Amino acid sequence: MIVARTRAELETALARLPRPLGAVPTMGALHAGHLSLARCARAENASVALTIFVNPTQFLPHEDFERYPRPLAQDLALAEEVGVDLVFAPPVEEVYPPGFATTVSVAGPSQRWEGVCRPGHFTGVATVVTRLLNLLRPERAYFGEKDYQQLQVVRRLVSDLALPVEIVGCPTVRDPDGLALSSRNVYLSPEERQQALALSRALFTAAERVAVGERDARALEALMHQHVTAAGLEVDYLAVVDPVSLEPVSEIRHPARALGAVRVGTVRLIDNVALVPPPP
C-alpha cells in the first residue's frame, strides 16, 4: 500500500495504479462503516484509493475540529487489511494551498436539516469533495448512507458540474444494538451510548409503521419525537422527507426517508432509514 502526503506523491502513485479506480473519501478514525466502503470499492474496481483528511472548512467554529480523532497509524493498518492500494493523507496546505479562494456551494438538497443546524458545513464538504475528486480522478467514489444528506448533496454536485465519476452509496453499518457507526461515537459515555439508541429505535419504529400502511408523515414525526425525548435526547430535527430532494413529504405514497439529528450531552448524532410503503 502506498501512502501519499503531497499532490506530487499522489500523481506518481496514481500513474502506477490500474484502472478503474474507486475512491473512498474519509476523515480517518476508520470504523467498520468506512471499511465496508473500501471493501465495496475493492470488489468493483482494479484499484482503491482512500483519502484521510480532517477537512477544516466543514467544521463550524464551535465544533470538534481540534479534538476530532486522528489515529493515523491505526487507520493505515486497517486500510491495508481491507486491500486499499493507496492512501492520500495530505496536510491542510496540500488541499488548500496559499491563495486558495474557491468554494463550491450546492443549494437544493443542502438547504434544510444539517444545512440549517450547521450553516456552511455543506459548502465545506462540497468544496473538499470536488477538490479530492479532481486530484484523484476516480471512476467511482463511495459514500455512506449514514450521512444521507451529504450523499444527496454529493450526487447533486457531481450531476450539476458534470464531474466524470459515478457516486456509489453504501448502506449504514450498525452495532448489533442498532447504533449507527460514527467516528464521533467515541465521545459517548456508556450511559450516553445507551440513551443514543433511542434515535435508531425511533427511526426503525417509523419504518415498521410505514411498512404496515401508515402514510401520515406528521404522525410518524410525532411518534419519533416521543421516543427520543422520552430517552432524554434533545432533538435538532426528526423529519420524513423525499429521498432525493430532501423536502418534507406529508403523505408517504412512495419510498421516503426518515432523517434524525439529536444531541446527547455534548455529542450530536445523526441517523436515517428508508421508509418503504407496502405495495398498493
Query: Which residues lie near ligand PAF (CB under 6 A)?
Result: 25-27, 55, 58, 125, 128-129, 147, 150
Q: Give the Cα separation of 147 and 27 in Å (integer).
A: 13
Nearest to 224 by CA among 233, 146, 255, 147: 233
Cβ atoms 202, 224 nearer than 8 A: yes
As measured in angstroms, the least distance from the Cβ of 129 to ligand PAF is 6
As measured in angstroms, the least distance from the Cβ of 100 to ligand PAF is 15
Q: Is 34 tagged catalytic?
A: yes
Nearest residue (CB) to ligand PAF, 68 versus 204: 68
As measured in angstroms, the least distance from the Cβ of 193 to ligand PAF is 21
As measured in angstroms, the least distance from the Cβ of 262 to ligand PAF is 19
Copy the grid coordinates of residue 52. 484521510
Q: Give the Cα separation of 145 and 168 in Å (integer).
A: 10
Instruction: Mention every residue, 6+ apart, whose C-beta is less than 8 A from residue 161.
Output: 104, 130
Q: Give the Cα separation of 26 and 51 in Å (integer).
A: 6
Nearest residue (CB) to ligand PAF, 163 versus 223: 163
Nearest residue (CB) to ligand PAF, 47 versus 58: 58
Nearest residue (CB) to ligand PAF, 170 versus 210: 170
Nearest to 262 by CA among 219, 218, 224, 223: 224
Cβ atoms 262, 233 nearer than 8 A: yes
Q: Give the Cα separation of 131 and 45 in Å (integer).
A: 21
Looking at 34, 62, 225, 227, which residue is catalytic?
34
- Where does residue 62 rank: exposed (0-12), middle (13-18), buried (19+ CB within 10 A)? exposed
Q: Residue 86, by phi and psi: left (phi above 0), alpha (psi -120 to 50) or beta?
A: beta
Nearest residue (CB) to ligand PAF, 47 versus 51: 51
As measured in angstroms, the least distance from the Cβ of 132 to ligand PAF is 7
Active site residues: 34
